Each structure stands twice: as structure tokens, then as C-alpha cells.
Structure 1
């Protein structure tokens, strides 16, 4: 497991997930989320959100497709 500060020293091909309550998102995003209560924001090592996905499985697939490593952050 890594902290956010540790990630910056690891390189560019690392992403991490952050669960996001759908209720906390803008109206247009909530409308697209349907019945989902939680989405997952995918962040790069600089902390920038690069994607918002419906599941951890989708995030893993996207990371693999883009030669990125998905890590756990605490």
C-alpha cells in the first residue's frame, strides 16, 4: 500500500481509485450513473482525476488497456 506522497516518486504509469458517493456529484453525472450509489474516481500520481467509472473491475480493465498499474492507496 502507498500514500499519495509515495505515488509521485513511483512514476507516470500508476493510478489509484477513490470511491465517490454518487450523491456528491453534479446533476448531469448523477443522471448518467442511474441507480449506482458509488462510483470510482481514477487518479494519476499527481492526484488528478483521469476517469470516473462504475466499478473496480472496469478501472482495472482500463488501467491494463493503458499500460497503467492500479495500486491501493491509504
Structure 2
């Protein structure tokens, strides 16, 4: 997953010590690497549950929603609703 605080040179841009000075792009991506969502998908002819990072990057496929949620929590991520 891309680092949201990486600048165009590929170097990590630290959050400012005073969060009132956070940039717009930093604020929009804050915490995104910790969020995940699930959606039903067809995989090898079977209905499965895909786990995606907040930016839509596919991360894994599980047999059912309960297993998918368990995997998200096991990796210390936060499950979020897909609107």
C-alpha cells in the first residue's frame, strides 16, 4: 500500500508536531492504511468475500464475511462500511 505521507521524491513526510498545521492531503489520508472493507466477489466460480484496503487495493479473499472480518481484526485493521 502506498504511504500517504510519502512526498514526490519517495521520502516520508512526517506529520507536523502541531496537527493544526496538517496539510490537506495528509488530513485526507490520515488513518487510511488502517481501514479495510469487504465485498462479495466471484472467485473460481464461487461466491467469496474479498478484503480491500481503504483505497480499493485487493488484499485477500475469504470464504465468508465472518472469516474476512476476523482477518481484518487479526491484522489490527479497522473494518469500515462500504457506502
TM-score (norm 2): 0.58
Number of aligned positions between the proteins: 56
Question: Unaligned 5+ residue runs, structure 2?
Answer: 1-27
Q: State whether structure 2 residue 41 is matched by structure 1 residue 20.
A: yes
Rg larger for: 2
Gaps of at least 5 residues in structure 1 are: 1-6, 23-29
Which of 76, 79, 82 is equivalent to 1:73? 82
RMSD: 2.1
- Structure with more helix by fraction: 1
CA deviation after TM superposition for structure 1 residue 21, in Å: 2.4
Measured in 1, the distance between the counterparts of 2:79 and 2:57 equals 14
TM-score normalised to structure 1 length: 0.64
Structure number with higher relative contact order (C-alpha < 8 Å, ≥ 6 residues apart) = 1
